[in-house]
Amino acid sequence: MAEDQVHTVERTLVLLKPDALVRGLAGKVISRFEDAALKIVGVKMKWMDEEFTRKHYFDLEERLGSEVYNFTATFMQQGPVVALVLEGYDAIATVRKLVGSTYPNQAPAGTVRGDFSHYSAAASVASGKAVANLVHASGNKEEAAQEIELWFAKDELSDYRTLAEIYTY
Residue 147 predicted with pLDDT over 50: yes
Out of 57-61, 90-94, 102-106, 159-163, the most confident range is 90-94
Average confidence score pLDDT of the chain: 92
In a domain, 165, yes or no: no
Residue 8 predicted with pLDDT over 90: no
In a domain, 162, yes or no: no
Least confident of 3-17, 81-95, 110-124: 3-17
Catalytic entry in 7, 56, 118, 136: 136
Give the total number of structural domains in the chain: 1
In a domain, 163, yes or no: no
Residue 98 predicted with pLDDT over 90: yes
Burial of 3 (0-12, 13-18, 19+ CB in 10 A): exposed
How crowded is the C-beta side of 18, counted as CA atoms within 13 Å? 14
In a domain, 125, yes or no: yes
In a domain, 161, yes or no: no
Phi, psi of 13 (to 5 degrees): -100, 135
Q: What is the pLDDT, as a whole number, of residue 1?
A: 44
Q: How far is CA 103 from each of CA 19, 21, 100, rounded to the nearest angstrom?
A: 14, 19, 8
- % of residues, the chain, pLDDT over 90: 78
Q: What is the mean pLDDT of residues 135-147?
A: 97
Q: Is 136 a catalytic residue?
A: yes
> 86: domain range?
3-156
Residue 169 predicted with pLDDT over 60: yes
Residue 89 predicted with pLDDT over 60: yes
Q: What is the pLDDT, as a whole number, of residue 2?
A: 52
Q: What is the pLDDT, as a whole number, of residue 122?
A: 84
In a domain, 97, yes or no: yes
Q: pLDDT, tens digit, for every residue of 24-48?
A: 999 999 999 999 999 999 999 999 9
Residue 3 predicted with pLDDT over 90: no
Phi, psi of 85 (to 5 degrees): -110, 120
In a domain, 169, yes or no: no
Question: Helices 26-35 & 91-99, crossing angle to 10 degrees?
Answer: 130
Residue partners of 138: CB distance under 8 A and separation at least 6: 12, 13, 14, 92, 95, 144, 147, 148
Q: What angle do CA 75, 70, 51 make, to 5 degrees?
A: 85
Q: What is the CATH number of the domain that holds 93?
A: 3.30.70.141
In angstroms, the CA 97 to CA 109 distance is 12
- Least Cα distance to 116 among 35, 30, 39, 57 occurs for 30
In a domain, 168, yes or no: no
- For residue 39, what are the β-bridge partners? 87
